Structure 1
Amino acid sequence: MKCFDCQKELSCSNMLVRHLRLVHGYLPGKNLRLKCVQTGCGYMFGTFSGFRKHLNTKHTEYIDQEVDTDVNVNSVGEAVIANVDETATTSDVDVTATCELFRNSNRSTLDMCATAVAQLKAAGLSQSTVNSFVSTMEEVVSKIHSQAKDAALQCLSPQDTENKNSIEQSFQKLENPFTPLNSEAKRNKHFTEKWGKVEPIEKVLGTRFDSRRNKTTGTYDQVIVTDKFAYIPILETLKSIFQNPELADMLKPRHMTKEGVYADLRDATYFKESPLFSVEKDSLQIQLFYDDFETANPLGSKKGIHKLGAIYFTLRNFPPIYNSSLINIHLCALFHAQDIKRYDFNLILEPLVNDLKVLETEGLKIPMFRHVIRGTIVQVTGDNLGLHGLFGFVESFGARYCCRFCLLEKARFQTVFCEDDPDVVLRTVEMHAQHCQTIQTDPTLPHIYGVKRSCLLNSLQYFNTATNFSVDIMHDILEGVAQFEVKLVLRYILQEKLLNAEQLAGRIHAFDYGYNQQRNRPPRVKLLDGSNDLGLNATQSWCLLRNMPLLFGDLIQTDDKYWHLLLLLLQIVNIVFSPVLSDGMTIYLKHLITDHHRLFKQLFPTINLLPKHHFMIHYPRNIRNIGPILHMWCMRYEAKHNFFKRQLKSFKNITKTLAKKHQSCMAMYQESFTKERLTLGPGKMVALVELKEGPEIASIFGDVTSVFSAKWIKHHGTEYRCDLIICTEVAFEMPVFCKIKTIAVKDDSVLLCGKLMETMCFDDHYHAFKVRLHPDRVVKVLDINQLCYFKPFDVQMKYGTTDFSNYIVPYCHFMQTC
């Protein structure tokens, strides 16, 4: 059997698997990819067991009943000399190679067991459960070793004492792989040696008196409590990141800027005018995120007791497709949310700022670069409440000055809908410094123009909170404005008696949202309560908003102003959720937001616009300063919270416990990180002559006669399957769609093959593209890395009509970029 890596021939499936483990260092994990290359077979596997089973069932002609005992150890590097009689005549070189083989085999087995134990810890199992599992497995392996030794000794005659002694000595050298992992201290030591994890450091915030119940007397005593938080040194984390060559290679700038087009932070004004980033193109662009989350999710009076605050960071040097992976979202600090009320937030920021000052001045030495790499914070993102608390602004959005971008009074939010209005005074670095100075001079003042205190981040050389342009469209739009306005439109449908409440709920429940959105379909919405939302999460809100025209468009007249308000919001959403924008689109966005807010006040004069409506007027300028604001949203950061929520916790020192668990898991996953994130679904090998797209596939893949045809794949977390729609290009300001019919895979290359679709028009009333299969049945083959927009679409239809036209609902604005 042939090794797909080095093309060496092995005698059987077990020898091939051992060769891959010992010679090439393949270990089980998320990124394990094993390829069968026997007789042109191209099946891919993610486990050794599946790979071995395939070899033993599909390629039986290669299986040997007996392992060849005369294999040269030096050439193969993994054969065990089974004939004991020949051991005495084996050369010293062969003995040395065999001993080295045993050491490598033991080490490989130990690494596999360590990875398995680390994955159990990452899944949230308690320390006692992990200890019990390791102890049980230690006994199991010990019993297997004992049985194997007894079986080997029984094969020898009682008089063959020499060979019996050799076998017993060999088994004594065979280590139990779970013994070095049978305690928490041993496991931590092994994980640190194997993966080099960055240990969290406990920092003291201060001391205070707290009431604690005395179990003996039953009374409450005043005790001194020392409040601490866990800080993970960012400089050490950066060093550990770039130990992986693939991650270090991604640091090299590859993005090519295009005038007037915003696809990345590098295209925007903030980057181009930065005294650091504009000069040192490979400097580290650190994006911070801050948010609070519940670890126990209790109800009632104990809610908030175990609420934690977390500061994460990502490197904007990496493409967004890699930063969406939770492996590339790193922990900076973990603290009790209640401590923010007791102490100054700057105490938590202090160790981080000290490290960042070193990074700004002295820099970091990375092996692949000859020069020192400097860096600093490029932007800080989070929800509005979190950013206001971090930056020192008022945390009440009922305050007179509650906008961190301008000095417009809240009462004027209902009449001023554009930054161009002369009443809108934008905050500047100098203005913010003056406000902070005034507060420090007179501490009796509650705040000055919405500023409560200075932020320690402003002591950095290359960052200031006044030039932080990040906004979160997840909280502003999906959990704020969208649900607020969709609720008003649905109430309008009920008031006009177009539907009753049960019919409306029935439509939302029965509508076909398509395969992509089946997990995000909205449940029963809240319409008659007094809240401003529908009771949906962000993805459910996005799903309902995008499909509102197809759901209810048949009931509404084309000139209905309430419907026009919804369509204006959809146009705004498509622009702000776009990964690529132009200067012209930011100007168009400004006018859309102005028209939308003005129409809202005309239709609902007694209802106030939300503060989130006001934040939207700053979106166009923010896009010109930092590029697409989609890359700033909180969705992936908040997904990171799930790691801490699912862990079994000791609440005695929860921040340190969770931080240590997180760092162990990050070290494990980071070591095996690869840029190729491809998961294959079931499929089969297909000859190119059997495919209509065969000639096109051959012209791309080269000299191949067959490919692996998968039913579905996941590429960087996005699922593609047959009958889904992809956007291949944008021509004449209209997207060109293609219906996937075949997914062809060769090694790590993927081609999406299908039939071209004709985009007939964009139906404004239904806010969707009307499409049909191209009458000429044009075949299209596209490399998955060349997709114009990476998300696939579903073909959908309007609700409750006899019109069987097909529609594709957009999730962003399609723009021709080349």
Structure 2
Amino acid sequence: MRCFVCQAELKSSNMLVRHLRLVHGYVPGRNLRLKCVQTGCGSVFGTFSGFRKHLNTKHTEYLDQQAETDVALNGAVEVVASNVDETPTSSEPSINSENSTLDMCASAVAQLKAAGLSQSTVNSFVSSMEEVFFEINSQAKDAALQCLSPQDTENKNKIEESFKQLENGNPFACLNTETKRNKHLKEKWGNVEPVEKVLGTRFDSRRNKSTGTYDQVIITDKFSYVPILETLKNILDNPELTNLFKPRHIPKEGVYTDIRDAKYFKENLLFSKENDALQTQLFYDDFETANPLGSKKGIHKLGAIYFTLRNFPPIFNSALININLCALFHAQDIKRYGFNLILEPLVNDIKVLETEGLNISMSERVIHGTIVQVTGDNLGLHGLFGFVESFSARYCCRFCLLEKTCFQTVFCEDNPEVVLRTIEMHTQHCQTLQTDSTLPHTYGVKRTCLLNTLQYFNTSNNFSVDIMHDILEGVAQFEVKLVLQYIQGNFLNAEQLAGRIHAFDYGYNQQRNRPPRVKMLDGGNDLGLNAIQSWCILRNMPLLFGDLFQTGDGYWRLLLLLLQIVNIVFSPVLSEGMTTYLKHLIIDHHQLFKQLFPQRNLLPKHHFMIHYPRIIRTIGPILHMWCMRYEAKHNFFKKQLKNFKNITQTLAKKHQSCMAFYRESFTKERLTLGPGKMLPLSELKNGPDIASKFGAELTTSIFSAKWIKYHGTEYRRDFIICTEVAFEMPLFCKIVYCCEG
């Protein structure tokens, strides 16, 4: 049996699997890919058991050849062995084997925890497996002893001693308590444990177990904080990420592909001096852990602070494993204690990162860093930064001092009525609140934010916007609903309109995102869709209803203007000219909206759009700031079995254990192959053309798959994809084969 990594020849399938585990470090996981390289085969497997079964059933000729070879060499081996002095063997392989077995068991237990099982269930499983291991060991010992004669006491003693050592080395005995498991995970994966921080105390009623009555007791409110410095060190010490961390970005004048190209990065005192400084992007949001429609709604609502490193490529940060937990707390504690107590340990660690930096293995010098931006929905950021949390307030914009009544007439930042907020202005507003405690707020500012005590970051220079909430869950649904109401009133009845939306072919990849029945009759501003469904229906509106509109129709033009705006703000690469074009598109769009719907008010989210062109020039493409992937992270906590007595620490510990487990099998390639078969290039219809293109022989074996998933995007035969843009025109190609060489 040949190893597909190092081409070494092994005697059996079991030895090959053992070789892959011990020598090459392959571990079970969602990204495990094992390739069969025996002659004429090239099958790929995702589990060791499937790989072993394939070798034992499809390649029996290798086992037969090996058996014949063993018989032929048996006599020679005996002769050689008789002439060699007996020497003690090294115990190192057995130690490695024991450690490997323990790591395999730890990975299996960690996988159960990652699946959301409760601690008691995991304890029960480990206890049962401990007994299973003992029973198998006992049965194997009895079977071995029965093979020996009663007089062979010497070998009996050796066998009993060997099995006793195996019994004492029961791997599940090292994992039968939560403390032992956490200790092993920390030693194996460098697991960063969450730390409980005290917020304060309050009175509450608790049941007295001895009397059965409810007594008033003092409760200590806490939250879980995952030390960000330890997490950063754990990430950057991973050799798999070393190449990704190294700056590869080549800036191009007038083109925005990353925050490095934008004004904020170039003018920041830290990032302008240290090219490899850590760019920490924070995210804050609240989510429900109980039934959001039940009686416990709000009681167990949690707030979470996540972070990603903008030093890594966006396609890497889109994986949920690379979104790291920073803090987990009860949402109710924000009203009771405020944000500053929750932010205090984080800010203290960031100050250390700014001044002292981190010593990591991949760099010869100390690496500093700071917060580059904080993202989240509008309500969350206003609460975090100390702005008013009502968008009916007079000053409800965190970017400027324009009054809300002017939102209906001012559609451009160039208007003299738009006064942009600055650090000096925000400091003055905070000082006014401190001198006059009777003021609830001034110019939309309620309090100062602890993040403003950092050396290289200030909330007044936080320009992140969330196009998911602003556009997809706000402006797009609001305006698409108005256009659909116009269609229903002039062209189609309700049944015909719903039929078009339901029966339309959205394509294979978008079929799961197709909108369900939209809400047309309620008085709300939305269609009752989530963000991705809203995006799906918006992009397909011209195909769904374009045949109904006449040339020059105002509603049709409004829809096209919105689509042009969406295409620009969702683009990962933008030019300086596109930001100017975007500014004029937004002006035309808002003016046309007021002409078509004079009785309708523009939403505050419409006003936030007028700041988009300047924000893009300041921090680069705003697609990298949206909340879509961060909010997907919430699903981990929502699906876990929870202990509501200390839910923040319970969920934080589970999350950190699962992150350690997932990082073991994480690969930066993120390529998944569907089912297929191995065949030579000559058997493909376009085999000669493919061979000529890649300079390969027609006899070259390739794996032809039904589909390939790369970085989360699935590709199949007959898909039409854009391969490049030449002379400002897209070039489309059709996928004929999905192959891997």
Is 1:101 matched with 2:96?
no
* Distance across 2 between alignment mates of 1:533 and 1:698: 54
What is the CA distance between 1:115 and its match in structure 2? 0.5
Deviations 1:336-380 (A, max 9, x none): 000111112111111111110111111111112111100000000
What is the CA distance between 1:689 and its match in structure 2? 2.2
Is 1:629 matched with 2:622?
yes
**Distance change in 2, residues 1:366/1:93 (3 Å):** farther
**Equivalent residues in 2 for 1:623-662 (5 A)?**
623-662=616-655
Q: Could you tell me whether the CA contact under 8 Å between 1:379 and 1:468 is conserved in 2?
A: yes
* Distance across 2 between alignment mates of 1:401 and 1:97: 79
Partner residue, 1:727: 722
* Distance across 2 between alignment mates of 1:349 and 1:740: 50
Is 1:451 matched with 2:422?
no
What is the CA distance between 1:575 and its match in structure 2? 0.8
Is 1:130 matched with 2:122?
yes
Is 1:667 matched with 2:623?
no
* Distance across 1 between alignment mates of 2:694 and 2:467: 39
Partner residue, 1:176: 170
Is 1:396 matched with 2:395?
no
Partner residue, 1:785: none
Within the candidate set 153, 160, 166, 1:161 is matched to 153
For 1:715, the aligned partner's letter is Y
Secondary structure at 1:125 match in 2: coil
Q: Could you tell me whether the CA contact under 8 Å between 2:11 and 2:66 is conserved in 1?
A: no
Is 1:499 matched with 2:492?
yes
Is 1:20 matched with 2:20?
yes
Within the candidate set 383, 396, 411, 1:417 is matched to 411
Secondary structure at 1:178 match in 2: helix
* Distance across 1 between alignment mates of 2:439 and 2:79: 88
**Equivalent residues in 2 for 1:572-591 (5 A)?**
572-591=565-584
Identity between Structure 1 and Structure 2 (%): 79
**Equivalent residues in 2 for 1:458-473 (5 A)?**
458-473=452-467
* Distance across 2 between alignment mates of 1:576 and 1:568: 13
Is 1:318 matched with 2:292?
no
For 2:273, the aligned partner's letter is V
* Distance across 2 between alignment mates of 1:375 and 1:358: 9
**Distance change in 2, residues 1:98/1:57 (3 Å):** farther
* Distance across 1 between alignment mates of 2:82 and 2:69: 13
What is the CA distance between 1:135 and its match in structure 2? 1.8
Q: Could you tell me whether the CA contact under 8 Å between 1:685 and 1:708 is conserved in 2?
A: yes
What is the CA distance between 1:715 and its match in structure 2? 1.1
Is 1:547 matched with 2:540?
yes
Q: Could you tell me whether the CA contact under 8 Å between 1:688 and 1:705 is conserved in 2?
A: yes
**Equivalent residues in 2 for 1:107-122 (5 A)?**
107-122=99-114
Structure scoring higher RCO (CA < 8 A, sep ≥ 6) equals 2
Deviations 1:698-740 (A, max 9, x none): 5437567121111111111211111212111112222111111
Q: Could you tell me whether the CA contact under 8 Å between 1:688 and 1:695 is conserved in 2?
A: no
Secondary structure at 2:220 match in 1: strand
For 2:352, the aligned partner's letter is V
What is the CA distance between 1:95 and its match in structure 2? 6.7
* Distance across 2 between alignment mates of 1:311 and 1:632: 15
Secondary structure at 1:729 match in 2: strand
Partner residue, 2:606: 613
What is the CA distance between 1:222 and its match in structure 2? 3.3
Quick check: which one's helix share is greater? 2
* Distance across 2 between alignment mates of 1:316 and 1:512: 37
Aligned residues: 734
Partner residue, 2:269: 275
Structure 2 gaps of 5+ residues are none
Is 1:206 matched with 2:197?
no
**Equivalent residues in 2 for 1:405-804 (5 A)?**
405-496=399-490, 498-691=491-684, 692-697=686-691, 699-700=693-694, 702=696, 705-746=700-741
* Distance across 2 between alignment mates of 1:424 and 1:123: 51
For 1:51, the aligned partner's letter is F
For 1:29, the aligned partner's letter is G
What is the CA distance between 1:547 and its match in structure 2? 1.0
**Distance change in 2, residues 1:145/1:219 (3 Å):** closer
Partner residue, 2:135: 143
What is the CA distance between 1:97 and its match in structure 2? 4.6
* Distance across 2 between alignment mates of 1:47 and 1:402: 54
* Distance across 1 between alignment mates of 2:84 and 2:208: 71
Secondary structure at 1:585 match in 2: helix
Q: Could you tell me whether the CA contact under 8 Å between 1:242 and 1:248 is conserved in 2?
A: yes
Secondary structure at 1:684 match in 2: strand
Q: Name which of structure 1's ranges 336-345 and 188-197 shifts more when overlaid on structure 2.
A: 188-197
Q: Could you tell me whether the CA contact under 8 Å between 1:208 and 1:224 is conserved in 2?
A: yes
Q: Could you tell me whether the CA contact under 8 Å between 2:27 and 2:665 is conserved in 1?
A: no
Structure 1 gaps of 5+ residues are 72-81, 747-818
Partner residue, 1:749: none
* Distance across 2 between alignment mates of 1:697 and 1:230: 57
* Distance across 1 between alignment mates of 2:224 and 2:448: 23
Deviations 1:489-534 (A, max 9, x none): 11111111x1111111111111111101111111111100011111
Partner residue, 1:29: 29
